[in-house]
């Protein structure tokens, strides 16, 4: 045998030994890595999907509850104006449009036209845009009512037009109709529209018959003019002698209540959302769930004068249904897995308010589709790698050995990059992409991974809605400072979480003969979304009440009654300091509702005083009486400081609090500066005191400097 052949076989033998070792190690490592990646991806996807559904249900319930409060507050204002209109002399007659005018193109009011937000069911069963007017309400007379007999009531109710326009603009697309019906048979509705069926009498509708002095929400019913399913909020109206004058009401589309379009875009059209309440089943002696509202009611063939009968929730697993009903009856949020109409599903739920819960049902395949696709790709990738390594080992020649080593090196790099990308994805990094090209079947795995990431990111868009909530709350705070002669005013609010319960505002109280503006600083107990919702509710009530006549003590007493009803024994409360300013007399009046007193500093004497007073926090006692105090002849250069306890209770690294003494020293040192500079100095001092620690409470302050 020639020497070159001996050398070849010797070299080949020494090459095969390390090749065999590399092959075995590579096969074991590849199998273990594939199994670890599969298990990790599956676990993280499952946990992430259920967490998203639970948070979506909680956010939806909070939005529904906030909408309920907004509608009730708006209807309270409409009802007050309507009752006032019924007691006044008829105003000068103005041009009104009757419902029949909207049905006749020759008499349609100017500016009226088809609108995509208002559709009616045509004779062919399809939905077409309805003609409505956002400038004029429509008047409808009940059957048998003579125009001459009710002309004065029409003139009185026409006074509500401006209120209707304002409420419609503020509530937006969430509001369908707002209207007032009188006992005399006059029905004034906004936006103006026609389409009333023959024989329609609003006084015979359930929302009219069942109306009471307190707000009432109806079960789903069919809108007589459009054929769409709605829920109605109503309130009884009375004359001064207590007799029945009529009913004020608002309609909301069922699809708006259930947030059908928003949730379907996040998940799938197969998703179901509904409002349910627990009821007792006398046959099984267990709890059932009654469906108050669901999208299915919209598709039922019901006439406008018929009734939609609420259904009981039907499931295939009585034990889990009883467990779900128990959780809902206890007022808890959560999720449970059980089939819905034969399809494995995830049921996520969260209470809207006592006895009403928002329920979402999402098919399990929606949440399983993406992780299963990834697992199949990883497993196929692993199997392919094992086969490739095995076949490479069979080609035991020098060029095959070198190719196997290079291929193994490239294969391992690809696997580790895939594992690293999967780890980043499990930690929430949705920018991750694999920029690899192997020019073989592994490219399909890489492409499948890259296609999966943006789809998963779409399912997590609800997380971004929390950021939007932060922006919305910031927009509720004043954008500019009030310009009042003789005063320099500045305010600021910093939240320790995404949303918070601190609040400040500037109110116009021109109907108060002793003051033209007011400054309000409040602090809701707790932090986060719950406190933010209560803050928004208190803000709306304050702004509405401050626009009506009354002094500070009256205003705060009325707001306290509304706020106590909102918290409904939950233990939440809000401290508030209300300061009315009369710049022409250099005087202030204030009410202290459990809040820390405002600080007054007189630079001439160098003395500090507190604007104190007695008063419960809002939400503790609905019949609480609040003390109103006054201070006159405020000296030029003096400073009023109103803040929340997050300022003086700021803790340093050693645990000691910033304290009010340090705050007074800071006010004394900066009294020559503008109000805005004083707020900046306080914020800077607190940041310096914390030395990098995250704040544990919201910080809000308003500085008023007498010029």
What pLDDT is attached to residue 83? 94
Of 572 and 460, more confident: 572
Question: Mind listing the pLDDT tens digit for each residue in 212-245?
Answer: 999 999 989 999 998 888 999 999 999 999 999 9
The interaxial angle of helices 675-690 and 659-669, nearest 10 deg, is 140
Residues in a beta bridge with 580: 518, 589
- Average of per-residue pLDDT across 6-34: 58
In whole angstroms, what separates CA 35 from the centre of its chain?
41
CA-to-CA separations, 25 to 36, 122, 133, 245, in angstroms, rounded: 16, 72, 77, 89
What pLDDT is attached to residue 408? 46
Contact criterion met (CB below 8 Å) for 632 and 666: no
Structure tokens at 501: 């319960």
Q: Is the confidence at residue 12, as pLDDT, over 70? A: no
Question: Mind listing the pLDDT tens digit for each residue in 413-441?
Answer: 666 677 787 778 777 788 888 887 877 77
Alpha helix locations (H) across 107-160?
147-157
Phi, psi of 584 (to 5 degrees): -70, -30
Which range, 40-54, 283-297, 482-496, is most confident? 482-496
H or E element at residue 216: strand 216-217
Structure tokens at 419: 């594992």
Q: Is the confidence at residue 47, as pLDDT, over 90? A: no
Phi, psi of 342 (to 5 degrees): 85, 0
What pLDDT is attached to residue 400? 43
Alpha helix locations (H) across 244-303?
254-257, 260-266, 296-299
Of 367 and 635, more confident: 635
Lowest-confidence segment of 47-61, 288-302, 413-427 by average pLDDT:
413-427
What pLDDT is attached to residue 680? 97
**CB neighbours (10 Å) of residue 672?**
10
Whole-number Å distance between alpha carbons of 232 and 218:
5
Contact criterion met (CB below 8 Å) for 207 and 176: no
Whole-number Å distance between alpha carbons of 512 and 546:
9
Whole-number Å distance between alpha carbons of 74 and 67:
10
| Residue of 222, 310, 250, 270 lying closest to 74 (CA atoms) | 250
What pLDDT is attached to residue 293? 86
**CB neighbours (10 Å) of residue 7?**
10
Whole-number Å distance between alpha carbons of 575 and 598:
13
Alpha helix locations (H) across 395-430?
398-426
Instruction: Kindly indicate the confidence band of residue 515, based on its pLDDT and cuts at 50, 70 and 90.
Output: low
Which residue matches tokens 């409420």?
Answer: 167
Which range, 17-26, 402-411, 591-600, 611-620, is most confident? 591-600
**CB neighbours (10 Å) of residue 113?**
13
H or E element at residue 522: strand 517-524
What pLDDT is attached to residue 3? 39
Residues in a beta bridge with 188: 139, 180
Of 426 and 342, more confident: 342
What pLDDT is attached to residue 397? 47
CA-to-CA separations, 364 to 13, 361, 648, in angstroms, rounded: 56, 9, 51
Q: Is the confidence at residue 165, as pLDDT, over 70? A: yes
This prediction's pTM = 0.48
**CB neighbours (10 Å) of residue 397?**
12
CA-to-CA separations, 658 to 428, 635, 651, in angstroms, rounded: 37, 29, 6
What pLDDT is attached to residue 558? 95
Contact criterion met (CB below 8 Å) for 457 and 430: yes
β-strands 138-141, 97-98 pairing: parallel
In whole angstroms, what separates CA 699 from the centre of its chain?
23
Instruction: Kindly indicate the confidence band of residue 27, based on its pLDDT and cuts at 50, 70 and 90.
Output: low
Radius of gyration of the chain (CA): 34
DSSP 567-627: HTTSS--EEEEEEEEETTTTEEEEEEEBSPPEEEEETTTTEEEEE----PPBTT-TT----
Of 126 and 491, more confident: 491
Q: Is the confidence at residue 396, as pLDDT, over 50? A: no
Q: What percent of the chain has pLDDT over 90?
A: 46
| Residue of 464, 510, 506 lying closest to 487 (CA atoms) | 506
- Average of per-residue pLDDT across 282-292: 79
CA-to-CA separations, 701 to 306, 704, 705, in angstroms, rounded: 56, 10, 13
What pLDDT is attached to residue 464? 60
Residues with Cβ within 8 Å of 341's Cβ and at least 6 positions away in sequence, in order, are: none
Whole-number Å distance between alpha carbons of 452 and 622:
54
Residues with Cβ within 8 Å of 376's Cβ and at least 6 positions away in sequence, in order, are: none
What pLDDT is attached to residue 43? 62
- Average of per-residue pLDDT across 541-549: 90
- Average of per-residue pLDDT across 80-101: 91
Whole-number Å distance between alpha carbons of 643 and 523:
9
- Average of per-residue pLDDT across 686-694: 93
Q: Give 178-205 as a 3 state SS string.
A: EEEEECCCEEEEECECCCCCCCCCHHHC
What pLDDT is attached to residue 16? 57
């Amino acid at each position: 045998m020639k020497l070159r052949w001996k050398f070849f076989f010797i070299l080949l033998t020494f090459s095969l030994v390390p090749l065999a070792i590399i092959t075995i190690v590579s096969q074991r490592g590849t199998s273990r890595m594939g199994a670890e990646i599969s298990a990790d991806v599956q676990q993280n996807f499952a946990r992430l999907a259920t967490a998203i559904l639970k948070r979506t249900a909680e956010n939806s319930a909070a939005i529904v509850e906030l909408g309920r409060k907004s509608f009730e507050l708006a209807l309270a204002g409409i009802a007050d104006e309507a009752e006032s209109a019924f007691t006044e002399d008829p105003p000068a007659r103005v041009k009104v449009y009757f419902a029949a005018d909207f049905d006749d193109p020759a008499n349609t009011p100017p500016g009226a036209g088809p609108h995509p937000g208002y559709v009616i069911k045509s004779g062919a069963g399809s939905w077409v845009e309805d003609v409505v007017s956002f400038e004029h309400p429509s008047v409808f007379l009940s059957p048998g009512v003579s125009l001459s007999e009710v002309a004065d009531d029409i003139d009185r109710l026409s006074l509500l037009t401006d209120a209707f326009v304002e409420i419609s603009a503020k509530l937006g697309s969430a509001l369908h109709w707002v209207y007032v019906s009188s006992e005399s048979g006059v029905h004034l509705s906004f936006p103006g529209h026609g389409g009333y069926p023959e024989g329609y009498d609003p006084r015979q509708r359930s929302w009219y018959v069942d109306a009471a002095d307190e707000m009432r929400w109806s079960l789903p019913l069919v809108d007589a003019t459009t054929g769409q399913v709605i829920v109605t909020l109503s309130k009884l109206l009375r004359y001064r002698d207590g007799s029945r004058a009529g009913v004020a009401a608002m309609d909301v589309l069922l699809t708006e209540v259930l947030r059908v379009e928003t949730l379907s875009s996040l998940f799938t059209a197969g998703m179901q959302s509904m409002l349910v309440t627990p009821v007792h089943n006398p046959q099984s002696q267990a709890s059932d769930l009654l469906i108050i509202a669901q999208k299915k009611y919209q598709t039922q063939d019901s006439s406008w004068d018929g009734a939609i009968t609420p259904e009981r929730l039907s499931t295939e697993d009585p034990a889990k249904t009883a467990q779900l009903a128990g959780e809902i009856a206890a007022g808890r949020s959560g999720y449970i897995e059980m089939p819905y109409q034969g399809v494995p599903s995830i049921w996520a739920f969260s209470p809207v308010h006592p006895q009403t819960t928002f329920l979402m049902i999402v098919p399990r395949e929606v949440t399983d589709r993406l992780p299963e696709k990834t697992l199949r790709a990883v497993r196929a990738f692993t199997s392919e790698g094992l086969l490739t390594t095995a076949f490479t080992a069979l080609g035991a020649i020098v060029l095959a050995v070198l190719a196997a080593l290079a291929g193994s090196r490239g294969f391992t790099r690809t696997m580790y990059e895939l594992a690293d990308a999967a780890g980043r994805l499990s930690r929430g990094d949705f920018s991750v992409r694999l920029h690899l090209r192997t020019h073989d079947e592994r490219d399909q795995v890489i492409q499948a991974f890259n296609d999966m990431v943006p789809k998963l990111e779409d399912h997590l868009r609800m997380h971004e809605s929390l950021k939007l909530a932060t922006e919305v709350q910031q927009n509720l705070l004043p954008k500019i400072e009030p310009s009042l002669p003789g005063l320099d005013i500045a305010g600021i609010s910093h939240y320790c979480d995404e949303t918070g319960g601190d609040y400040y505002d500037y109110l116009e109280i021109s109907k108060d003969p002793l003051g033209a503006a007011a400054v309000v600083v409040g602090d809701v107990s707790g932090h986060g979304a719950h406190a933010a919702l209560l803050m928004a509710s208190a803000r709306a009530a304050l702004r509405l009440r401050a626009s009506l006549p009354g002094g500070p003590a009256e205003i705060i007493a009325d707001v306290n009654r509304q706020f106590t009803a909102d918290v409904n024994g939950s233990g939440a409360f809000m401290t508030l300091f209300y300061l009315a300013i009369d710049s022409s007399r250099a005087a202030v009046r204030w009410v202290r509702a459990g809040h820390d007193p405002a600080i007054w500093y007189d630079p001439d004497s160098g003395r500090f005083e507190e604007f104190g007073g007695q008063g419960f926090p809002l939400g503790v006692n609905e019949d609480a009486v609040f003390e109103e105090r006054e201070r006159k002849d405020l000296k030029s250069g003096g400073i009023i400081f109103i803040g929340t306890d997050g300022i003086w209770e700021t803790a340093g690294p050693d645990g000691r609090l910033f304290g009010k003494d340090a705050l007074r020293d800071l006010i004394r040192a900066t009294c020559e500066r503008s109000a805005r500079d004083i707020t900046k100095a306080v914020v800077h001092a607190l940041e310096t005191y914390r030395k990098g620690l995250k704040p544990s409470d919201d910080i809000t302050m308003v500085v008023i400097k007498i010029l």
